[in-house]
A and B are shown apart, each in its own frame.
Chain A
Amino acid sequence: GDSVTQMEGPVTLSEEAFLTINCTYTATGYPSLFWYVQYPGEGLQLLLKATKADDKGSNKGFEATYRKETTSFHLEKGSVQVSDSAVYFCALEKGGATNKLIFGTGTLLAVQP
């Protein structure tokens, strides 16, 4: 079945470090891919998305490129801040009759000053 695999956390970085959180997926067809972020004690917020191969999603300095050849959607940021500390979820959605999001396990990012 369809699935999303994320790198395990926690990921601990110093402020201004470069961030990569790996995400790969298994799915038939052409899913849309998403990164959601969950700040402590809060709900999920959409961070960025890409709907077709080679699309790049970007928001708040974060970027991810939809790579169909490697079935990946890695999240990157050039310089993290303490305020980026959160859990990051990679997810896919295939649309159709069952429009459900399939999530990865989440990656906790802790940024230290």
Chain B
Amino acid sequence: DTAVSQTPKYLVTQMGNDKSIKCEQNLGHDTMYWYKQDSKKFLKIMFSYNNKELIINETVPNRFSPKSPDKAHLNLHINSLELGDSAVYFCASSHPRGGKETQYFGPGTRLLVL
């Protein structure tokens, strides 16, 4: 069984469009994250949610809006896509915050904005 899953795996779209990426975890974790990996493979945190509450927002443009309908899901909606948004987006989850527990990553969503 997949622990952290993301859909879609690949997303190709035009500049200016709005798109969503979905993430689900079946590990029973309370905390979920979105990371962005750029073309040079550099990984950086974007958001984290703990039990549906926003904990981290790392100065990401407000075109990016995470939504957590329940603690097993953290979706990422992106408005007015720009060329620079092309990247791989990883979802992750871990046990309750403060525990420095291992984060488990999804397979990634490869977004290409044309």
Contacts and interface: CB of A to CB of B under 8 A. Distances in A.
Interface of A: 31-32, 34, 36, 38, 42-46, 49, 51, 87, 89, 93-103, 105-106, 108
Interface residues of B, number: 27
B42 A99 contact: no
B98 interface: yes
B98 A43 contact: no
Contact of A99 (B41, B97, B107): B97
B55 A97 contact: yes
B105 A97 contact: no
A86 B31 CA distance: 27
Contacts of B103: 46, 93, 101
Please list the 9 inter-chain residue pairs (A to B) with the smallest Cβ-Cβ separation, ordered nearest first.
A95-B100, A44-B105, A43-B107, A100-B45, A103-B43, A32-B100, A99-B97, A106-B41, A43-B108
Interface in B87-112: 90, 92, 94, 97-100, 102-108
A43 B105 contact: yes
A44 B103 CA distance: 10
A46 B100 contact: no
11 contacts: A34-B102, A42-B107, A43-B106, A98-B56, A99-B55, A100-B48, A101-B35, A102-B45, A103-B42, A106-B41, A106-B42
B40 A99 contact: no
B19 to A, nearest CB: 19
Interface string B49-66: 000000110100000000
Given A43-B107, A44-B90, A44-B105, A99 B98 contact: yes
B102 A49 contact: yes
A97 B42 contact: no
Given A99-B55, A105-B41, A94 B100 contact: yes
A58 B98 CA distance: 24
Given A43-B108, A44-B90, A49-B102, A98 B42 contact: no
B50 to A, nearest CB: 8
